Structure 1
Amino acid sequence: MSIILSSISQGLLWSVMAIGVYLTFRILDIADLTAEGSFPLGAAVCASLIVAGIPPWLSTIAALIAGMLAGTVSGLLHTVLKIPALLTGILTMTALYSINLRIMGKANVTLLGQGTLMRTMQSFGLNSRTAVLAVGALVALLVILVLYLFFNTETGLAIRSTGDNEDMSEANGIHTNAMKIIGYMLSNGLIALSGALIAQNNSYADIGMGIGTIVIGLASVIIGEVIFHNLSFAKRLVTIVIGAVVYRLIIDLVLQLGVDPQDIKLFSALILAIALSTPLLKKKSGKILKKSPYAKKKGVQ
């Protein structure tokens, strides 16, 4: 039960980042590596402001805005300068490494003894684990609600249309470049928001905490898609949260089995590879089943 509660609370915090990855990966059909830089950017901004005496809630909002600015840079590089999406993410991610060091002034910033959102929740009588769970659930619910409302507006529908068919969208008068930039902004804003939450939960921000972020986000998205199929936009966002929780549960169970923590990135990559190959394996197994004499005899379709 302790492992399950820990996985849920951690999964909720990481799910915000996974939703951000989903916006570019699925909605815009863009592989954006900016996440590797915007995640620690959110942590760096939030931690530095908290240490400077800024309230944690205001520091968290500042981290969200910083991530949106990083997304704007990636969007402009991709749409205005016509740099391929993959290279755009690499460029921004590389630049953010130096920017994050500038913001923190050193490789890491500790939040021990500082006020955080989790410690604020504890002041209402919650224990540490329940406080993390409450913050994660509240933020995840708010993000899903805001995105659901936004993507049902004219601009939101235009972003979805741009990702589905850019040429047709342009033919119908949609400014696809502007829609891509907005998508980049929303995606990296959420990723930075998640970084701020993780930093407050871990009580530190570190320059290397963004390594492997994109793998974690993609794994959460794919796991949610493997478990649940053909859902509406709002329900899909909920399944991403579930996917993030399942991913954290798998990682926690692996650690409980005695696996060296330094091998976690390897297991993360394996989990993503398995999740990505699951649809293909299901398809092939279905074809084999249809071709088998036993299936034909029993009338299996």
Structure 2
Amino acid sequence: MDFYITALIQGLCFGGIALGIYLSMKIFNIPDITTDGSYTLGGVVTGSLMTHHQSGFVIALAVIVSGAIAGALTGIIHTKLKINALLAGILVMTALYSVNLTILGRSNLPLLGLPGLFMSINFIADNPNQNALLISLIFVAAITLAIGYMLKTDFGIAMRATGNSEAMVRALGVNTDRMKIIGLAVANALTALSGYLVAQQQGFADISMGIGIVITGLGSVIIGETVINWLQITSVWLSLTLVLAGAIVFQLVLAFTLSIGVDANLLKLVTAAFVLVIVGLPRLTGRAA
């Protein structure tokens, strides 16, 4: 049972990535590869500040700001320099590797024994796994409520409209470049928060922890989007909840894969295959119909 509780915790920790990719790809239609770098950035900033015994509030704030700066840089390169969004993300992600390595100071930094989020708060003192699950649930619920509220405001509606019809929104006097920059900043701040949670949950920060992480986020979003389209859901709150549920389902599937004896070395292959199935199945089903 603890194995699957750990998978649930991992799914919740990846909720920030799922929400971030949902914002960038589904709200703004921007394939943002900055995710790989900003996720690692969140982890290394967390690890570095934890080893310097900074408070939890300072660490979380630093992670949000650093992730937002990374996303804003991608947005500025894309909107102001008129560089393709995919290439802009790749450029920032590549630069972040050096930034992350400089912040971390080495390739791997152990965090075991340091007073992190999951050790400082004790709702269930006699069961660390259940305690971590509850903390993760509260943390992710808080950021989901914040994003949901933002998307329901006039500013959030303008952001959503920018993704749906940029020309129309620009004709109404909205600065669409600013919307994209802010949207990518928010998306990567969420991604960095996932790195913040995962680094503390797994007990170390690693320079390569973000490699391929965009696939995990994309798979989570696709699972949620499949249900959203199937049920024809228009509610922002329910859409965000289903995206989070997609992150949890994704991790549970990987946990099940390991539990039936699949070699851990093949996990990335299984991940890619699972995402391919999720992407391809609705289309194959549609053709068959």
- TM-score over 0.5 for the pair: yes
Question: What's 1:271 paired with?
Answer: 274
State which structure, 1 or 2, has the greater radius of gyration over its C-alpha atoms.
1
Distance in 2 between the 1:56 and 1:107 partners?
A: 23
Distance in 2 between residues matched to 1:25 and 1:74, nearest whole Å = 14
- CA drift of 1:3 comes to 3.5
Counterpart in the other structure of 1:256: 259
Q: Which residue of 2 aligns with 1:159?
A: 159
Q: CA deviation at 1:121?
A: 2.3
8 A Cα contact 1:15 1:140, kept in partner: yes
Letter in 1 for 2:281: T
SS in 1 for 2:152: coil
Q: What residue in structure 1 maps to residue 214 of structure 2?
A: 214
State the shift of 1:228 in Å: 3.8
Asked if 1 retains the 8 angstrom alpha-carbon contact of 2:2 and 2:129, the reply is no
How do 1:83-98 residues align onto structure 2 when only pairs under 5 Å count?
83-98=83-98
- The answer for the alignment partner of 2:145 in structure 1 is 145
Match of 2:100 in 1: 100
SS of the residue corresponding to residue 14 of structure 2 reads helix
Q: Residue 208 of structure 2 aligns to a residue in which SS?
A: coil
Instruction: Report if aligned partners of 2:124, 2:131 keep a CA contact under 8 Å in 1.
Output: no
Q: Where does residue 63 of structure 1 map in the other structure?
A: 63
1:46 and 1:56 in contact (8 A); partners too: no
Q: Partners in 1 of 2:172 and 2:280 — Cα distance?
A: 36
- For the aligned residues, what is the CA RMSD? 1.3
Deviations 1:278-297 (A, max 9, x none): 221221232xxxxxxxxxxx
Q: Equivalent residues in 2 for 1:1-301 (5 A)?
A: 1-122=1-122, 125=125, 127-229=127-229, 230-231=232-233, 232-286=235-289
Aligned mates of 2:75, 2:135 — CA distance in 1: 30
Q: Which runs of 4+ in 1 moved over 4 A?
A: none
CA distance in 1, matches of 2:66, 2:117: 19
Contact in 2 for aligned 1:60/1:197 (Cα 8 Å): no
Secondary structure of the corresponding residue to residue 149 of structure 2: helix
Does the C-alpha gap of structure 1 residues 8 and 124 become closer, same or farther in structure 2, counting only changes over 3 Å? closer
Provide the rounded CA distance (Å) in 2 between the counterparts of 1:67 and 1:186.
Answer: 8
Q: What is the alpha-carbon distance in structure 2 between the residues aligned to residue 166 and residue 98 of structure 1? A: 34
| Alpha carbons 2:14, 2:247 under 8 Å: kept | yes
What CA distance in whole angstroms lies between the structure 2 residues aligned with 1:130 and 1:212?
28
* TM-superposed deviation, 1:225: 1.9
Shift of 1:76: 0.5
- How far, CA to CA, are the matches of 1:264 and 1:239 in structure 2? 24
2:34–2:74 Cα contact (<8 Å) kept: yes
Any idea what SS the aligned residue of 1:205 has? strand
Unaligned stretches of 5+ residues in structure 1: 287-301
Whole-Å separation in 2 of the counterparts to 1:8 and 1:183? 28
Q: How many equivalent residue pairs? A: 286
Assess if the C-alpha contact under 8 Å between 1:119 and 1:131 holds in 2.
Answer: no
Distance 1:126 1:234 in 2: 34
How far has the Cα of 1:42 moved from its partner? 0.4
The SS at the match of 1:122 is coil
State the one-letter code of the partner of 2:129: R
Deviations 1:38-93 (A, max 9, x none): 00000000110010010234212211111001011111000101110010010000
How big is the shift at 1:202? Answer: 0.7
Sequence identity percentage: 38
Corresponding letter in the other structure for 2:122: Q
Task: Map Cα deviations across residues 174-210 of structure 1 (whole Å, 9 max, x no partner).
Answer: 1000000011000000000000100000111000000
SS of equivalent to 2:121: helix
Mapped partners of 1:57, 1:112: distance in 2: 19
Segments of structure 2 that go 5 or more residues without pairing to the other structure are none
In 1, Cα distance between equivalents of 2:280 and 2:126: 41
| Distance in 1 (alpha carbons) for counterparts of 2:87 and 2:126 | 45
